[in-house]
Amino acid sequence: MKLKKLQAFFLFALFLTPGILVAQTAEEIIAKHIEAHGGAEKWEKIEALKIKGRFTAFSLEKDFTSYKTKCGAYYSDLYLGEQHVFEGFNGKCGWTIDPWQEIEYARNINSSETNVFKQKAEFFTPFLNYKKKGHKVEYLGKDNVDGEEMFVLKLTREDGKSEKWYLNTKTYLEYKCEAPWVDFAQPVPAEMYFDDFREVDGIIVPFFIERTFWQRDRITQIESIELNPKIDKSLFAMPKRKEISKLAFMEGDWDVKLEFMGRRGTYRERGTTQSCIKFASTNMLQEQISYENGFPNNLSINFTYDAGTKKYRIAAFNDFTSTFDMFQGELKDNILVMEDTHVSYSDKPNAARMCRQFTYTKIDNNQFTVENKVSTDEGKTWKPQARLTYTRKVEDSLSKK
């Protein structure tokens, strides 16, 4: 009698906990799925993949190369039709250079794209170590897709976005996936189909992946996979704009010798100060510098490049004058000349206005000079006012060497 009661209790308990039963079933399917991919042990030894092949978009087939790492970083160099596209992702943040969007430089990806890049960064199946990655899986039952019986699993990523995976009940390999995707940075639902599974040093990988979304069709045909290749991690970092990179000589910590023009027309040394210059974004170099010229001046100087005018710009904030000053100029023959002759802050012409010019010369990796001049004739003639000589701090200098 007691035994019967115990059995009844267990049956009742099991009835109340279908989640456990379902979870067990999903776990079992995933275990067999990972086994079908070569087994967890083999995948554990893989830190990174280099994938090469052919990618088709807009019916044009071109070469592509991708890198993926175990920590979720991803980089790809591919063609979308005739346009050369680059993508990078460090596991959290990503960027893309996509001429289809008429943007020639790297831009940050949006939240929908981030989800897509997370999918792209997976080692093919997201079910590998899915709990560690923060994914949740729910078994939805069986379905028939294109005449074949499939297990249907719902995978929800840590960002809350979910995918539906269809695994063949005979092979346990993925056949289809429905997931959120992007088209021109806008979210769209997509379907993916996997085929041509091949073995690469013990792991099993789909060499054919077709993705359709909206009316688009993208085909990835893998030709080679290199396990644990050497990867330059800078690949995943968002590239700086080409033009601002030309000012990279300024990046670092500097000792700065200060010289101001004396009454006799010669420079007089007024001590030293320090400057720190670093990239604040892919198109902004930021300098923090303080000095005393009677009164303390704390400056925040921002350098950018404007692709429209093809000129460099400076926006400098001086807390002594408590205002922004703007300068514009060009880098020619290793000399950067920035001035405010083209900048007007008043609607009315001011004959007495004083223009300023900063000339960056004697540029090399460990030193450069900035000369400040003024003009009262709208830049026809310039009078020197101050000279700052930047010398890279010793530790920084050593590290640069």
Partner 1 sequence: MKKTNLLFTICALLFSALLNHAHSQEVSNQEWNQFRGANRSGSADNVELTSFTDKEPKLVWKKKLGDGFSELTISGGNIYTMISERKDSITGDEFIAAFDEKTGDEVWRTKVDNMFFDTFGDGPRSTPAIGEKNVYSLSSYGKLSANSKKDGKTLWQVDFMKEYGSKIPRWGFSSSPVIVGNNVIVEVGGTDSRAFMAFDKKTGKEVWKKGEGIATYNSPVHGKINDKECIIFANGRKVYSLTTAGDTLWTYNSPISNPTGMPIVFDGNKIFISAVRNPGFIVLEVNNNKAKEISRGTSMKNDYSSSIYHDGYVYGFHVAALQCISVKTGEKKWTKRGYGKGSLIRIGNQLLVLSDKGKLIQVKATPEAYTELGNIQAINGKSWTAPSFANGKIYLRNLTEMACYELK
Among the listed ranges 56-64, 254-262, 293-301, 382-390, the one in contact with partner 1 (CB under 8 A) is 56-64
How many C-beta neighbours within 10 Å does residue 321 have?
12
Q: Residues 321, 347, 336, 376: is their CA dihedral positive or negative?
A: negative
Q: Is 184 in the site for partner 1 (CB under 8 A)?
A: no
For the beta carbon of residue 16, count every other beta carbon within 10 angstroms.
Answer: 9
Question: Which residue, 62 or 135, is less far from partner 1 as judged by CB?
Answer: 62
Report the residue number, 59 or 322, with the smaller CB distance to partner 1: 59
Position 193 contacts partner 1 (CB under 8 A): yes
60 contacts partner 1 (rule: CB under 8 A): yes
**104 phi and psi angles, rounded to 5 deg:** -90, -10
Task: Provide the minimum distance between the beta carbon of 56 and partner 1 in the complex, in angstroms, as a whole number.
Answer: 7
Amino acid at 353: R
Query: Binding to partner 1 (CB under 8 A): which residues in 205-224?
Result: 208, 210, 212, 214-215, 217, 219
At residue 214, φ and ψ (nearest 5 deg) are: 55, -130
Residues 228 and 47: beta-carbon distance below 8 Å = yes
The least CB distance from residue 206 to partner 1, in Å, is 13
Using the contact rule CB under 8 A, the part of the chain among 55-63, 112-120, 318-326, 378-386 near partner 1 is: 55-63
Q: Determine which residue in the list 2, 4, 15, 59 makes contact with partner 1, applying CB under 8 A.
A: 59
173 binds partner 1 (CB under 8 A): no
CB of residue 359 vs partner 1: minimum separation in angstroms? 39
- CA–CA distance, 168 with 148 (Å, rounded to integer): 7
- The residue within the footprint of partner 1, chosen from 26, 33, 37, 56 (CB under 8 A), is 56
Residues in the interface with partner 1 (CB under 8 A) total 18
Size of the chain, expressed as the number of residues it contains: 401
Q: Closer CB to partner 1, residue 12 or residue 58?
A: 58
DSSP code, position 101: G
Query: Which of 47, 195, 201, 269: binder of partner 1 (CB under 8 A)?
Result: 195
State which of residues 27, 28, 47, 61 lies at the interface with partner 1 (CB under 8 A): 61
Residues 229/50, Cβ–Cβ less than 8 Å? yes
Token look-up 């590239």 returns 239
Candidates 32-40, 58-66, 346-354, 388-396 — which segment interacts with partner 1 by CB under 8 A?
58-66
> Under rule CB under 8 A, which residues in 95-154 are in contact with partner 1?
146-147
Q: CB atoms < 10 A from the CB of 337, how many?
A: 18
Phi, psi of 215 (to 5 degrees): -100, 15
Nearer to partner 1, 214 or 324 (CB): 214
Cα(330)–Cα(355) distance, integer angstroms: 17
Q: Determine, following the binding rule CB under 8 A, whether residue 82 of this chain makes contact with partner 1.
A: yes
Q: Which H, E and C letters describe 358-392, residue by residue?
A: EEEEEEECCEEEEEEEEECCCCCCCEEEEEEEEEE
Phi, psi at 320, each rounded to 5°: -70, -50
The residues that touch partner 1, with contacts defined as CB under 8 A, are 56, 58-61, 81-82, 146-147, 193, 195, 208, 210, 212, 214-215, 217, 219
